[in-house]
Every structure is written in structure tokens, then in C-alpha cells.
Structure 1
Amino acid sequence: MVYEGARAITGPFLASLGASALLVGVVTGAGEAAALVLRLVSGPLADRSGRYWSLTIVGYALTAVCVPLMAVAPFLGGAGLAFGATMVLLERTGKAVRSPSKSALLAHAARAVGRGRGFAVHKALDQVGAFAGPLLVAGVIALTARTWAGLAVLAVPGAAAMALLVVVRRRVPDMTVFDEEPLEVRASAPIEHPTRLPRIFYVFAVSCAASTLGLMTFGIISFHLVEADLVRPAAVPLVYALAMAVEAVAALATGFAYDRVGARVLLALPVLVALVPLLAFADTLRLVLVGLVVWGLAVGIQDSTVKALVADLVPSGRLATAYGVFAAFQGAAALAGGALGGALYDNGVTDLVVVIGVCQAASLVLLTSVVRRRGAAG
């Protein structure tokens, strides 16, 4: 709720402080880069130090504090823009600090119910917050006509999140209690921290990166919707809401399926991604909407169920490192995919379909090898 609520108005808010379009792009782009790249540092740090809870709480605290503090910027005069931009960057840094540790803690906790289900429920709740945060901000701004008020009110869900974290930390200081091994075995066994992640993990990371490379961003799809005169700009958020709802359902469905049938449920991912450009860039609204549903299905799997397999592929003591490295692969592929998609769209949809199809064929081959090796190991 907190960070999605802020992201919904970050651009207009910085502009109200005097930022140019270029500066808004630089600040938000640098923030997203920091949120991904810095995980290469925070992930190994968590595994080496064992301070998963500390890094998780510090990361969430940065978001819970920095977002409401953005509301102070309009009252700082000439220093307001610099202060607001700094808060944006610190909030994204908080995302990088907490994400690997949070995912590692969740991977342990989810063992009690199934990792597929655990990551699926996490993603579904994440989507609830992604809806509620912007709606809360929009409602407050509509009532007060003050953008800063919409940011200030996010202190409430931020405080609630921090309180819940403290409660859970006190009740379950060691999430490994949910692992399968008996407590006495874990207590007597030495803690191992392998220096390298397994090769199969990197094969899986490359496979998912190939899928991400071909998974068009909603920005390009929405550009097509308006450019082809299929919907009016004001209706684009409603279309996006449809895709987000599908994403939440897909995360739940595939997560539950993962616990039942295993990693082979992920073989649907490259197929879905390959279908997106064929449908989402069609000339009729009906086909485009079908394409958006397929896009939502793919994103739902990509953002949730794949994390369950990451946890099953790496040693317990290297989970945070693995999630940091995996995020770096995904971030680099997303950046390249966005540029590739935009360039190929301008040259014609046919080229886009062919290139993405090739990427997904490669992804499917790699993923199949991972699933087979995982099945043989299991």
C-alpha cells in the first residue's frame, strides 16, 4: 500500500516541486535500478551475517518513513525538490535492502504450507496492496486537493506494517523452525554456506531472464491501445486493473499447482509469453483484451511461483544471495526487453512476434532441462 501508493503519484509530485520530465525520468529510473542492483550486495550480506530479520525490518522501515516524509517537501522551499528526490531514492533502496532477506524468510515460513502456495498468497496480498494504496491516495487527494496529504496518510499503513513485523519477529525469531528437519538435527548440524550457487540455479535464472526479455511491459501495450485508437487514455487504468486482477489469480492458481505437480507447471510460462505479442498488438479490442489476460497470467507466474523453485534449487544458507542474483538477472532482462520491445514495435509487429518467439523457445529448452534435473534429483 505504501510504496505503490507513492509510485502512483511520484511523477506528478516531483513535477509540482519543479522537476522537469528528464529529472523525473532520471530519479525514478535510478530508483528502480537501485532497487534491483543493490540486491547483489544485500543478499550475500544477509547470508553471511544471518541478520535476515534485521535487514528486512530496516528495509521496510526505510519505505514506511521515507514515503510519508515526501509530504514535507512542498514546505521546504527551494530545497523541496532535492529532498523529495532523495526520499524517492531512499525508499527504493529500502526495497533492495529488504527483498532478498524477506524472500528467504518467506521461503522458510512457506515450508509449512508449501512454497508454491506461500509465494502465491504473498503475491496475491501484494496485489491487494497495489490496488488499495493508489485508491487511498487518490481518495485523500480528491477530498483535500493536496497531493502531499495523499502521501502523508500513507504513514498509517506504514506504521501498521512495522507493528506487524515486530510482532512476527518476536513470535518467530528463527524462521528455520518451519523447515522439514527436526529441531535437534538442525541444532547439531553445522551451518554451511557454500561459496557458489549451484549451476542449475543459473540455468533457471537465464531461462526466466529470456522470458522476461520477451514479456512486454504494460507501458508498450498501453501505448498500442491508445495509438491504435482502441481505448481512450482515461480508460487505460481500468484495463491495467483487469490485468492486475488476472495476475493475482494466476499467482494463486500456479502456486497451488506447484505444490501438487511440481516445477513442470512453470513450463506454461514461455508459451504464455510467446502468445502475448500475437494478441496484445492486434487491431481489435477483443483480441487485445485477451492478450492482456495472457500477459497478466504470465506476469503472475513470473512474479511469484518462480521464486518457489529458486528456493528449492539452492541451499538454505544461500537463499538471500540467490534471490539477489535472480533479481539482477530479471532487472537486466526487463531493461533490455523494454528497449527491444519499443524498437521492434516501431518496425512492425511481425518482427516483434518472431524475436519473442525465438527467446521463448530458448527459455522453454532451458526450463525443460531444469525441470528434468529437478525431477531426477527429487
Structure 2
Amino acid sequence: MVKGAASGSMALRFVLLMGMVDLFGDTTYSGGASMNGLFLASVGAGAAVISIAGGLSEFLNYLTRGLSGYFADRIRRRWPLVFVGYVLNLLTVPALALAGHWQVAAGLIVVQGVGRGVRKPLVQAMLSYTSSRYGKGWVYGVNASLDYAGRTLGPLVVAGVLLLTTEFRTAYALLVIPAMLALITLTMARIRFPAPSAFESPEQQHQAEVTEGFTRSYWLYLAAGACFAAGLMNFELISFHLSRSGVTRDSVPLFLALATAIGALASLGLGKLYDRVGLPVVLVAVVATATFSPFVFLLPVHLALVGMVLWGIGQATQDSLLTALVAGVLPRGRRNLAFGLYYAGYGVGWLVGAVAAGLLYERSHIALVAFAAVAQLLSVPIFLTARRRPEPRPAEWSSG
């Protein structure tokens, strides 16, 4: 194990390098996501199919995280599974350029979710070995901000391609470029940092894995995360609604770009605040997110921009704050499984929400908005119940 300042410098490089992997990866993934709903509609899918396809992809994304975390803990090898996940996640996006029927396109979208699920908890677990030095909120905030930079860039690229060519297939095909850059950067990370656990001493690992087993707080955080997910909605349905409301298809990706740019900034700010304040930051972010749906689905379309800002805060809450909460109740020797199970529960909430949203959309937009807001606000008392004691500050973790 490398110690002292050199260890800190290498840990920072690892955080930034994995962030670059996600920047390129989410340029690919989010670029595709910004037009998936429109593309499915163009090949014959309706609102329910579009919402359920996006929701099933996210559900399998989160469900697969539980299985991936379990197997990683059993075989003690993360990198091979990480590579499998990124390949499935990224190469299926440009493959949509070849899809001629909505069933094929929906199937490829579902596979994307499986790929994300295989690699996500393992990357989060590897990053957790750097949090004893920098703090959970900061580490996951930096990773999420680079992730969101890619999520912002991807829709902008797609919007430009659609403006110039109006061809979905051309836009999908061009996304093979950032996909390959992500895989090249991932290979560099594997060569340079084969064992991220070396960033922590045994004593620091003992401090970071703070419980002997899965605690009541852990399961309550899982339940609260599932409620939050149920009300967040996927962009496939949002983009379908925007196009119905008169937004041109080359402009729809710009709404996602705005949301993800906000997510990038919010991840850094909220992550830093979380390390200082703790749970109250999470609660404020959840309440803010719960107000997004009326702006998108009930008010004039220009006010949907406000809704997308709030939706972007929700994405940052999902990817940085909730992850940091779970990282505070990791059971010893089972951190991959802990992240994986949490994400599996989150995915159940996401699927329930996606199915409900898809069915409610065609019947009552008011009922859809009420469902989304109530589902997310239900997480607030659960988060409060889960909090038993203040979390240790980063300085306490690294003092040993």
C-alpha cells in the first residue's frame, strides 16, 4: 500500500480518472437517452410502452446492481465485471442505429440498463476507498459532477446532429466515438490502479465499514430511496410529453442538457454541504425535487425549463447524496453487496413509478403529478426515522 501524500495524490487521480470514464460514458448514454423516447415513438411505440421501456431499463439497472455486488463480494474481483458492464451499457447505444422495430429498440434500451447495473455498485465501492481521506460527499459529488458533464454534453451533441440531419440513426451511430473513449480510459484506470482498496489502511477500512451487519438505518434508507425513485420519472416519458406539447425534436435534448448541467453543479455543492451538515441537505433536496412535475406536466411548456432544473437537482440527489447516506452505514466486508442491494431496492421503486406514470399519463396529468409528488415526499419521514446518530466527519475518518 502507498502511504502519506503519495497515496492521497494517487487516490485523487483515481477519482478523476474514473470520473472521466463516466464523462465519456454518459456522453454516450445520455445522448441516447435524450432521443430514446422520440425514436421509440417514430417506430410505432405509444406513451405506455415508452415509459415502461425506460422504467424497465432502470429497474434492471438497479436490480442487477444487487446481483453484481453479491458476486463481486464472493469472487473478490471487480474489474472484469466493471468491463462487462461498461461494454453492455455503451455499445448498445450506437447499436440503436440498426433497430428497425420498436421491440428491438426497446430491447436494446433494456440491455443498456443491465450494463449500468453490472458496473455501477462496483465503481461506487472502489471510490469508497478514497472517501476516508476526502469525505463521502466530496468524492461522490466530484464523480457525479463529471458524470453529469457527460450527461450535459451528450444531449447537446445529439441536438446538433438532429438540427443538421434530422436523423436519429446518424446521431446514434456517432455516439460510438465517446463510447470508445470511455472504454480506452477505463483500460487506463485498470492498468494504473489495479487494486483501489490499497488507498485505505486496514484501520481506515475498519472505520469506513461502520457496522457489523445490515442495520435498521440501512433498510430505512433503502425504503426512502425507493419512494424517491418512484416519483422521479424517466426522461423517455418527459421527452414524449415535451414533443406532444410542441417542442421540436431537435430541441428536446436541450431540456435534458439543462437538467444535467444543473445536476453537475448541484452534485458538487450538495456533496460539500452534506459533509458539513448531513441529513438536512438531503431533506431540502428531496422537497425541492418533489415540486418538479407540475412545471413539466401541468404548466405552459416554457415553464418546463423550471421543472427540468428541479429534476436535475433530483438526479444529483440520487447520484451523490443518497449514495453518501448509504456509504455511512456500510457493513464490514460487504460494501459491494450493500451498494448493490440499495440500488436494487431503488430500482423497484423506479419501476413501480414508471409503470404508474405511463398509465396515469394517458388518463390524468393531475393524478400523475400528485402521484410523483406524494411518492417523493413520503421519503422524508423515513429518512428522519433512519437517522439515529450524527455521522463522523471526514477529519475523524482520516485521523487514524
TM-score (norm 2): 0.73
- On the 8 A contact 1:213/1:337 being kept in 2, the answer is yes
Q: How does 1:100-249 map to 2 (within 5 A)?
A: 100-137=121-158, 139=160, 148-179=169-200, 182=201, 185=203, 197-217=214-234, 232-233=247-248, 235-249=251-265
- On the 8 A contact 2:40/2:102 being kept in 1, the answer is yes
Evaluate the alpha carbon distance shift between residue 157 and residue 237 of structure 1 in structure 2; reply closer, same or farther with a 3 A threshold: closer
In the alignment, what sits opposite 2:380? 364
Evaluate the alpha carbon distance shift between residue 325 and residue 273 of structure 1 in structure 2; reply closer, same or farther with a 3 A threshold: same
Evaluate the alpha carbon distance shift between residue 27 and residue 280 of structure 1 in structure 2; reply closer, same or farther with a 3 A threshold: closer
Looking at structure 1, the residues matched to 377 and 38 of structure 2 have their Cα atoms a distance apart, in angstroms, of 40
Q: List alignment gaps of at least 5 residues for structure 1.
A: none
In the alignment, what sits opposite 1:58? 84
Evaluate the alpha carbon distance shift between residue 145 and residue 341 of structure 1 in structure 2; reply closer, same or farther with a 3 A threshold: closer
- On the 8 A contact 2:156/2:257 being kept in 1, the answer is no
Helix, strand or coil at the partner of 2:214: coil
Evaluate the alpha carbon distance shift between residue 236 and residue 213 of structure 1 in structure 2; reply closer, same or farther with a 3 A threshold: same
Looking at structure 1, the residues matched to 141 and 180 of structure 2 have their Cα atoms a distance apart, in angstroms, of 25
Looking at structure 2, the residues matched to 205 and 226 of structure 1 have their Cα atoms a distance apart, in angstroms, of 34
Evaluate the alpha carbon distance shift between residue 280 and residue 58 of structure 1 in structure 2; reply closer, same or farther with a 3 A threshold: closer
- On the 8 A contact 1:269/1:302 being kept in 2, the answer is no
User: Greater RCO between the two (CA within 8 Å, min separation 6)?
Assistant: 2
Give the number of the structure whose alpha-carbon radius of gyration is greater.
1
Q: List alignment gaps of at least 5 residues for structure 2.
A: 1-26
Evaluate the alpha carbon distance shift between residue 242 and residue 154 of structure 1 in structure 2; reply closer, same or farther with a 3 A threshold: closer
Shift of 1:96: 2.0
Structure 1 range deviating more: 315-324 or 200-209: 315-324
Structure 1 range deviating more: 170-179 or 44-53: 170-179
Shift of 1:322: 2.0
Shift of 1:56: 0.9
Structure 1 range deviating more: 47-56 or 277-286: 277-286
Identity %: 35
Shift of 1:374: 4.4
Shift of 1:114: 1.8
Looking at structure 2, the residues matched to 14 and 287 of structure 1 have their Cα atoms a distance apart, in angstroms, of 25
Shift of 1:98: 0.9
Over the residues paired in the alignment, what is the CA RMSD in angstroms? 4.1
- On the 8 A contact 1:211/1:273 being kept in 2, the answer is no
1:299-354 per-residue CA deviation (whole Å, 9 max, x = no partner) reads 321222210111111125322212222222222222323444566674573x6676
Shift of 1:199: 2.2
- On the 8 A contact 1:211/1:269 being kept in 2, the answer is no
Shift of 1:46: 1.0
Looking at structure 1, the residues matched to 314 and 140 of structure 2 have their Cα atoms a distance apart, in angstroms, of 15
